[in-house]
Amino acid sequence: MATFSELIQGNKPVLVDFSAEWCGPCKMMKPILEKVKSELGDSATIIKVDVDKNKSAANAYKIQGVPTLIVFKHGKPMWRQSGVVQADQLKSIIQKYI
């Protein structure tokens, strides 16, 4: 399995959902992310990072609240937002980096 840093280095955009099991709004993101993934297919990667289990990744990107969504390309954060983002908006943001 690829490491987090390997995953975000690629040519294809990677949406990282920094979340936590105890977070209500994070649970709302699950069906949104599934919809975005089904519409974008293999043109983008979507991964979920539990901030409680991956404190080093959360600290590295200064995650203050969850959910925080970051789109990476070539290892660099291209877009970032905290809170729930609707599927259509998220899809159009990711498509800018495909």
The catalytic residues are 23, 26
Asked if 46 contacts 60 with a C-beta cutoff of 8 angstroms, the reply is: no
The helix or strand, by DSSP H or E, that contains position 81, with its residue range, turns out to be: strand 76-82
List phi, psi (to 5°) of 5. -65, -35
Residue pointed to by tokens 């159009």: 92
Q: d(Cα 78, Cα 61) in Å, to the nearest integer? A: 12
